[in-house]
Structure 1
Amino acid sequence: MYHIAVSWDVQPERVKEFIAAALKDGREAGAAEEGTLRFELIADPENQNRFYLNEAYADEAAFDAHAAGEFFKEFFAEVGPYSEISWLFKGTTVTE
Structure 2
Amino acid sequence: MYHVAVAFDVQPEHHEEFIAASHADARDSAVDEPFTQRFELVVDENDPNRFYLDEVYDDAASFDKHMAGPHFARFFERIGHIAEGPTWLIRGTRIIDPTST
Using the size of structure 2 for normalisation, the TM-score is: 0.91
Whichever structure has more helix as a proportion of its residues is 1
CA distance in 2, matches of 1:49, 1:95: 33
Q: Which residue of 2 aligns with 1:77?
A: 77
Using the size of structure 1 for normalisation, the TM-score is: 0.96
Q: Does 1:49 align with 2:46?
A: no
Q: Which has the larger radius of gyration?
A: 2
Alpha carbon RMSD of aligned pairs, Å?
0.9
Report the Cα offset of residue 77 of structure 1.
1.0
Report the Cα offset of residue 34 of structure 1.
1.1
What one-letter code is carried by the residue in structure 1 that aligns with 2:49? N
Q: Which residue of 2 aligns with 1:15?
A: 15
- Percent identity, aligned pairs only? 49
What one-letter code is carried by the residue in structure 2 that aligns with 1:59? D
SS in structure 2 at match of 1:78: helix
Q: What count of residue pairs does the alignment treat as equivalent?
A: 96
| Off by >4 Å, runs of 4+ in structure 1 | none
